[in-house]
């Protein structure tokens, strides 16, 4: 019924949502891209990265966890929000060891693509060069914690989609990291290369072994179009039809 539809605006453009949809989901459906890293279509909202933070009636809210409501006035692409998003992404870069120049995820990496979309040239914060470890014990999967951005996609995918619960967060603050529910190594878990959790990492922290660089430069996800273009183009295509 028409009366069930929720109507609100994002940057002055009227957007409609179904009851229960988050601002992010409604924006996606409307072809409005709100930058995000931890959110994923197959996963429940989590609110880890805060990059999708928008101004809702003048107050900052995470678009991925906030339900859409009638009459909301949402600001998405403002100078201030964009700068905040840059700052968050920059912090993610300096708190890990992200060497895009040789990373096999380069060109397909959502963090790298976000940095390009936000026109980040160099982080404003000093690099931390943290000491992170690599778990290569699994025959088909490698964990490189140098590149982890703590989005919890793997934690949620393993628990909610694979029904395995392989990953958990341990530690707090700068000591926080994704760990595995076993004594020490990924090989001790029941993780399988076909698990959803293997594919869902936005960066190169969880990778399939022996498949790196198989997609040539020029054919990778973000070689020609910025991240979010799929959402924006879907709307443009719908309008032209």
Partner 1 sequence: MSAPENMRKIVIEPVTRVEGHGKVTILLDDEKQVQQARLHIVEFRGFERFIQGRPYWEIPVLVQRLCGICPVSHHLAAAKAMDIVAGVDELTPTAEKMRRLMHYGQMFQSHALHFFHLCSPDLLFGFDADVAIRNVVGVARKFPELAVQGVMMRKYGQEIIKATAGKKIHGTGAIPGGINKNLSIEERDEFLKDIEQMLEWSRASVKVAKDYTVENLETVADFGSFDSNHLSLVREDGAMDLYHGNLRAIDAQGNKIFDQVDYQNYLDYVAEEVKPWSYMKFPFIKSIGPEDGWYRVGPLPRVNLCDFIDTPEAEKERQEFMAVTEGKPNNITMAYHWTRMIELLHSAEKIKELLNDPDLQGEDLIVKGERRPEGVGLIEAPRGTLFHHYKVDENDQVTMCNLIVSTTNNNTPMNLAVEGVARKYLSGATEITEGLLNRVEVAIRAYDPCLSCATHAMGQMPLVIELIDSDGRLLDKKAKGMSLND
Instruction: Enumerate binding residues for partner 1 (CB under 8 A).
Output: 101-102, 104, 134, 136-137, 142, 209-218
Tokens linked to 221: 């996800």
State which residue, 16 or 137, has the beta carbon closest to partner 1.
137
State which residue, 36 or 145, has the beta carbon closest to partner 1.
145
State which residue, 223 or 232, has the beta carbon closest to partner 1.
223
| Pair type for strands 73-75 and 6-10 | parallel
Q: How far is the CB of 230 from partner 1 (least distance, A)?
A: 23
Cα separation, 210 vs 220, whole angstroms: 17
What does the radius of gyration of the chain's CA atoms come to, in whole angstroms? Answer: 19
State which residue, 121 or 217, has the beta carbon closest to partner 1.
217
Four-residue CA torsion sign, 212, 216, 217, 223: negative
The set of residues, in sequence order, having a beta carbon less than 8 Å from that of 178 and lying 6+ positions away, is 143, 145, 148, 150, 152, 154, 155, 167, 168, 169, 205
| Pair type for strands 6-10 and 13-17 | antiparallel
State which residue, 1 or 217, has the beta carbon closest to partner 1.
217
Give the length of the chain: 241
Contact (Cβ atoms closer than 8 angstroms) between residue 85 and residue 47: no
Q: How far is the CB of 167 from partner 1 (least distance, A)?
A: 19
State which residue, 55 or 221, has the beta carbon closest to partner 1.
221
Helix %, strand %, coil % of the chain (to 5): 30, 15, 55
State which residue, 85 or 138, has the beta carbon closest to partner 1.
138
Tokens linked to 233: 């183009």
| Helix 79-95 × helix 110-117 angle, to 10° | 140
**Residue 219 CB neighbours (<10 A):** 10
């Amino acid at each position: 019924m028409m009366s069930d539809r929720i109507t609100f605006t994002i940057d002055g453009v009227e957007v409609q949502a179904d009851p229960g949809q988050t601002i992010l989901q409604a924006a996606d459906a409307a072809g409005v891209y709100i930058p995000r890293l931890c959110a994923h279509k197959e996963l429940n909202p989590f609110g880890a990265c805060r990059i999708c933070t928008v101004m809702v009636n003048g107050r900052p809210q995470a678009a991925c966890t906030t339900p859409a409501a009638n009459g909301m006035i949402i600001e998405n692409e403002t100078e201030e929000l964009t700068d905040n998003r840059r700052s968050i992404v920059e912090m993610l870069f300096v708190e890990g060891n992200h060497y895009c120049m040789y990373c096999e995820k380069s060109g397909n990496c959502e963090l790298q693509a976000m940095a390009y979309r936000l026109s980040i040239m160099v982080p404003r914060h000093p690099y931390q060069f943290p000491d992170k470890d690599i778990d290569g014990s699994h025959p088909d999967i490698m964990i490189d914690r140098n590149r982890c951005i703590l989005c919890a996609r793997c934690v949620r995918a393993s628990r909610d989609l694979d029904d395995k619960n392989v990953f958990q967060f341990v530690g707090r603050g700068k000591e926080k990291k994704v760990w595995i529910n076993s004594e020490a190594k990924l090989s001790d878990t029941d993780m399988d290369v076909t698990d959803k959790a293997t594919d869902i990492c936005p960066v190169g922290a969880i990778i399939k072994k022996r498949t790196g660089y198989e997609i040539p430069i020029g054919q990778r996800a973000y070689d020609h179009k910025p991240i979010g273009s799929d959402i924006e183009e879907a709307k443009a295509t719908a309008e032209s039809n």
